[in-house]
């Protein structure tokens, strides 16, 4: 039977979401055994970071914040001048620390929700 409130609805019926996106791009990718920062490895002819950034932009976010560290300016150049807010994580103390670096920017709406994707 199901719940009446769970019926399919046209996405246009929903109010627009106010979304901020944080992309964590600071890690060196030690397990990749490469001097290239992991987000700059190429997939389908483009840096992985460029793919992630393009996907994030499809959400029409209020802010896209990229936390970067390892690879510095090379990481910033991978997606060019794109309107992102860039936050340097120095020193790099892990994922939780990276999220904390972005929190002042990404929580302007009052909440921070984290989701991860792992590529192996």
46 catalytic residue (yes or no): no
Residue 84 structure tokens? 């992102």
- Alpha carbons within 13 angstroms on the beta-carbon side of residue 4 total 0
Residue 40 structure tokens? 């700059």
Selecting among 7, 9, 31, 120, the annotated active-site residue is: 31
Is the N-terminal amide bond of 91 cis, ω within 30° of 0?
yes
Q: Judging by beta carbons within 10 Å of its beta carbon (0-12, 13-18, 19+), is residue 31 exposed, middle or buried?
A: exposed
Catalytic residues: 31
């Amino acid at each position: 039977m199901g719940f009446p409130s769970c019926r399919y609805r046209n996405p246009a019926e929903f109010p627009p979401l106010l979304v901020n996106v944080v992309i964590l791009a600071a890690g060196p990718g030690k397990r990749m055994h490469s001097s290239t920062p992991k987000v700059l490895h190429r997939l389908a002819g483009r840096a992985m970071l460029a793919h992630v950034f393009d996907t994030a932009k499809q959400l029409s976010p209020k802010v896209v914040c990229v936390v970067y560290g390892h690879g510095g300016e090379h990481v910033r150049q991978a997606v060019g001048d794109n309107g992102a807010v860039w936050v340097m994580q120095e020193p790099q103390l892990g994922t939780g620390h990276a999220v904390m670096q972005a929190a002042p920017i990404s929580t302007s709406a009052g909440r921070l929700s984290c989701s991860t994707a792992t590529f192996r």
